[in-house]
């Protein structure tokens, strides 16, 4: 399980915990997030922009 980070605002998507507020259950892989996934905090960085922390 990995963590991916938004390079603009520092939001972290942790695959272990998912993001329940956004509806991504714990254990949801980053790669299975929708293709149009935008950072839930700043919305100006997208899936391709995220970096593995």
Partner 1 sequence: MKGYTAVAPDGEAIFYEDRKRWFWTMSLLYPLQPLLGIWLHWLTGAEGWLLLPLFGGYVVAPLMDWILGEDRNNPPEAVVVQLDRDRFYRLLTYIVVPLHFVSLIGAAWWAGTQDLSSWALVGLAIVTGITSGLGINTGHELGHKKSRLERTLAKIVLAVPAYGHFWIEHNRGHHRDVSTPEDPASARMGESIYKFARREIPGAFRRAWAIESERLTRREKPVWSTDNQILQSMSLSAFLQLSLLILFGWKMIPFLLLHNVFAWWQLTSANYVEHYGLLRRKDDKGRYERCQPHHSWNSNHTYSNLVLFHLQRHSDHHAHPLRRYQSLRHFDDLPTLPSGYFGVYLIAYVPWLWYKVMDRRLLALPHVSGDLDNVNIDPDKHERIREKYAQAAST
Residue 9 tokens, joined: 């605002």
Beta carbon of residue 23, minimum distance to partner 1 (angstroms, whole number): 3
Beta carbon of residue 36, minimum distance to partner 1 (angstroms, whole number): 9
Beta carbon of residue 32, minimum distance to partner 1 (angstroms, whole number): 12
- Interacting residue ranges for partner 1, rule: CB under 8 A: 8-9, 11, 20, 22-24, 38, 40-46
| Residues 6 or more apart in contact with residue 48 via CB below 8 angstroms | none
Contact (CB, 8 A) for 26 and 18: yes
Residue 25 tokens, joined: 């259950």
């Amino acid at each position: 399980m990995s963590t991916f980070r938004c390079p603009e605002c520092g939001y972290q998507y942790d695959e272990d915990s998912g993001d329940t507020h956004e509806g991504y259950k714990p254990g949801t892989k980053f790669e299975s997030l929708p293709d149009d996934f935008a950072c839930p905090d700043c919305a100006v960085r997208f899936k391709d922009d995220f970096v593995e922390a």
